[in-house]
Amino acid sequence: MKKLIPTLLLALPGLVCMAGEGNQAVLSDVQAQVQVIKPIRVERKADLVFGQLVVDSQRGDGVVTIFDTPLLEGNYIWWKHNPGLQAHPARFTVTGEEGYEFNYSATTMMELTRSGVGIPITFESIVAPNPIAFVGSMENSGTISADIIVGGALHIVPGTLPGTYSGAFEVRVSYM
């Protein structure tokens, strides 16, 4: 009976097997395949710009938000209209393989600093359409139908000095 079981297993339909040396079996006609797809890419269309703010450095306290429309909440802070430095969110376009889903996110918290001495300004990113991540799908053209939009909120505190504040944040995009 013990010799019959290995013989029956080797005779099962659909299994092509040959006995090798020392109790080895070799399965023939094994296939291998691979699918190669385009890399996913993110392209910056516009940087995030908060424009010009007038801040009373002794009493200025509040939050300045840029997304669809600029919003100012706080005391002793004003937006200065400057046509050459209009406030707007950052915009990105994602391209990749047709029909594949992807997700994206941005750095959630960072500091904008000015050269020299001064208190940094805290920046909190806002990503559309969700605050942290979004799942999208490529259209037939291989391009998402809408841009990724990244806005943010600046947290202004008393003691914020005049000057140009800057910093960089990451936008990460990957296939799911």
Domain 41-175 has CATH 1.10.3470: no
The long-range contacts involving 13-20, CB below 8 angstroms and separated by at least 24 positions, are none
More confident residue, 17 or 79: 79
Residue 27 has pLDDT above 80, yes or no: yes
Residue 53 has pLDDT above 80, yes or no: yes
pLDDT of residue 134: 46
Share the mean pLDDT of the chain.
79
d(CA 131, CA 150): 9
d(CA 144, CA 96): 9
d(CA 168, CA 4): 71
Residue 158 has pLDDT above 80, yes or no: yes
d(CA 78, CA 38): 46
Residue 72 sits at the vertex; the CA angle it makes with 67 and 76, to the nearest 5 degrees, is 155
End-to-end CA distance of the chain: 51
Domain map of the chain by residue range?
41-175
Is residue 62 a contact partner of residue 113, using CB atoms and an 8 Å limit?
Answer: no
pTM for this one?
0.71
Residue the block writes with tokens 């805290």 = 122
How far, CA to CA in Å, does 21 sit from each of 5, 11, 29, 87, 109? 19, 19, 19, 76, 63
pLDDT bracket for residue 38 (50, 70, 90): confident
pLDDT bracket for residue 133 (50, 70, 90): very low
Q: What are phi and psi of 16, to 5 degrees?
A: -95, 115
pLDDT of residue 148: 83
pLDDT of residue 21: 62
d(CA 167, CA 121): 10
CA nearest 108: which of 92, 74, 132?
132
